[in-house]
A and B are shown apart, each in its own frame.
Chain A
């Protein structure tokens, strides 16, 4: 332990920078996606990611005991957002979304049936992204942190500073709403295809 501390003291600055980059830069895409959801626009997301890396670099110099770098970076980003951006721009939308509605349960079977006719490459990804963008912000964050970023419930609760039950409820509602949106997109698309075929048949 003592020799480790000594090594830290004598380690050259350049090596520390390279080590920081190697550990943290692989999460850049994820952090930008997270920042984009938090801020709602590309300019603020750029600022937020840059500030988060600056802060992470400062703390990285002071501590060696970080065990989960990805969760650590997400937490720094979210705390910075709350401190600097939240009060400025997003107060209304963040509070109004606390209203919990009793959404009707969407059967996964219906959405899978609707999906079966939509196998074009690339279209699927666009549809999922469009549905994600349509989710209320807190539900979108829960789905992003779980299904895109792979955090567990406890990590999500820590990143978002909310109880575990809230994570579960937001995730469940978010996924349920995604099913509904996707089912509507895909059902609409197959209706249009059928109409198109019918028009051609008549012509």
Chain B
């Protein structure tokens, strides 16, 4: 069985769906067998859910929308970089 410190390092990649199938399976197997890692994993998941729920993009000020709208009124093809 993998040791707990190795599993704890990959908890976030596992939660983010970034582990390949083999590593994901190994992590899942460990979590099923190890109550203390499972408890931390579930708390990490809960924290990330909370974070993502409350950190959403703030609306851009209306002045940004006005500035961006001016882009389409330019003749961009004659505007050299």
Contacts and interface: CB of A to CB of B under 8 A. Distances in A.
Contact of B47 (A54, A124, A132, A179): A179
A152 B18 contact: yes
B22 interface: no
Contacts of A129: 55, 58
A124 B50 CA distance: 9
Interface residues of B, number: 37
Contact of A49 (B40, B48, B51, B60): B60
Interface residues of A, number: 47
Interface string A2-37: 000000000000000100110001001111110000
A42 B67 CA distance: 13
Chain A interface secondary structure, helix, strand, loop or mixed?
helix
A132 B55 contact: yes
A28 B12 contact: no
Given A53-B68, A147-B48, A153-B16, A29 B57 contact: yes
B76 A61 contact: yes
A49 B16 contact: no
A168 interface: yes
Given A178-B51, A179-B47, A109 B60 contact: no
Interface string A53-95: 1110110010000000000000000000000000000000000
- Which among B47, B65, B67 has the greatest number of chain A C-beta atoms within 10 A? B47
A112 interface: yes
Given A33-B58, A49-B68, A108-B40, A61 B47 contact: no
Interface of B: 8, 12-13, 16-18, 39-40, 43-44, 46-48, 50-52, 54-61, 63-65, 67-68, 70-72, 74, 76-77, 79, 81
